[in-house]
Amino acid sequence: MLEKCSYAKKCGGCRYQGIPYEKQLQEKERNIKKLLKSYGKVHTIAGMENPYHYRNKVHAVLKHMRNGDVISGIYEEGTHKVVPVECCQIEDQEADQVIQTIRKLAKSFKIKIYNEDSGYGTLRHVLVRTGRKTGEMLVVLVAASPVFPSKNNFVKALRKEHPSITTVVLNVNDRNTNMVLGDRNIVLYGKGYIEDELCGCRFRISPNSFYQVNPQQTEYLYGKAIELAGLSGKERVIDAYCGIGTIGLIAASGAKEVIGVELNKDAVRDAVVNSKINGIRNVKFYQKDAGDFLVEMAAQGEKADVVFMDPPRAGSSEAFMSSVIQMGPEKVVYISCNPQTLARDLEYFTKNGYQAKGIWPVDLFPFTSHCEAITLLEKKNRKQGRR
């Protein structure tokens, strides 16, 4: 058992700091049961063997101190005060070291750190993403302007200390916003993205695309979700909120065809490339709001046999769910990262012709209070309907 993290109070990211891992799992399972057991059986939560340093995506905000030092860390919970952080129990350790190096180099290269109040300065945040299987590493320097002084030498010095960095991108974010990344990426070194492998498929991940932060548990999550779908090879499958296409592409070999829908342009571009990298031909991706897309499909009388849905924390929309119900798939596999919105959405599905066959919690985020869960929904009275 590691020491309790000294930043825990100010950071607020790990609500379960100081609680033994077994207890964390029990607590999460209990919470899920409380919220969801009225909909279906809640199975034992799937935890990690080693719950440390699982995060493949590390973010740090930078700040200049009066003496010229640069600190890096996180915003104190609920504020814009920067808490300096040297290392974190749940983040990739090499990524943490890269951030320390960037801090040091920013000082020696005299890079001006952005000041949120005055709007003066350049470098705002650093984002590091690693591919667990491939070992590739992407560093994103988020700056307020596309002009980054001595960028080539900066990147050279950074790579010298961390040869495992495979690509460096300058992301331009000149807006006064809570979003870390802006829309524009300028590749400073390497290919501008990383690749990683999950469940036997290879995936390109661009800086602005969503990718699960705990790849080890994600393999379990996807495996379980696809197992629950019980594909036979004949199905028409929808992968909604598909990101870079992970679930749909992994499921494709067991289905007749897969249709993926996702709002983020970069993610859809990655998904299309990912189908090519893996030689998968029975998949099509669409860049659209998932609700709008399904409303259109349902209006055209399209059908589907299985719907995977993996919405963001806000959950799904009534437009989306009512269209799913209209299209009448035998199975809906709902992957949720927020039990509260899952409960709301299960209420809707179970009042409108579907029944939850079980709920499988998966601990994707040890030490935090977040919990992932898969719910298998099946159409009620399947046989009666045909009598």
Residues that bind ligand SAH (CB under 6 A): 210-212, 241-243, 246-247, 261-264, 267, 289-290, 310, 312
Nearer to ligand SAH, 79 or 177 (CB): 177
Residue 371 C-beta: closest distance to ligand SAH, Å: 15
| Contact indicator for 203, 274 with CB cutoff of 8 Å | yes
For residues 189 and 293, which CB has a smaller minimum distance to ligand SAH in the complex?
Answer: 293
Take residue 127 and report the two structure tokens written for it: 């984002």
**Least distance from C-beta 268 to ligand SAH, angstroms?**
9
CB of 310 to ligand SAH, least distance (A): 4
CB of 257 to ligand SAH, least distance (A): 18
In whole angstroms, how close is the CB of 368 to ligand SAH at the nearest point?
Answer: 16
Running DSSP on this structure, what letter comes out for residue 6?
Answer: T
Q: Which residue is nearest to ligand SAH (CB)?
A: 243
d(CA 146, CA 384): 63
Please tell me the distance from the alpha carbon of residue 167 to that of residue 163, in angstroms, as a whole number. Answer: 10
User: Cα–Cα distance between 267 and 163 in angstroms, integer?
Assistant: 27
Smallest distance, ligand SAH to C-beta of residue 223, A: 13
For ligand SAH, the closer CB: 17 or 208: 208
Task: Check residue 53 and give left, alpha or beta (phi > 0: left; psi -120 to 50: alpha).
Answer: left
**Cβ closer to ligand SAH: 85 or 290?**
290
For ligand SAH, give the closer residue by CB, 25 or 362.
362
> What is the number of other CB atoms lying within 10 angstroms of the CB of residue 152?
10
- Cα 283 to the center of its chain, rounded Å: 21
Strands 236-240 and 257-262: parallel
Q: Is the CB of residue 126 less than 8 Å from the CB of residue 82?
A: no
Measured CA to CA, the distance from residue 55 to residue 59 in angstroms comes to: 10
To which residue do tokens 């809570």 refer? 178
Point out the residues that are catalytic: 337
> In this complex, which beta carbon is closest to ligand SAH, that of residue 89 or of residue 264?
264
In 3-state terms, what secondary structure has residue 86?
A: coil
Compute the distance between CA of residue 57 and CA of residue 98 in angstroms, rounded to an integer: 12
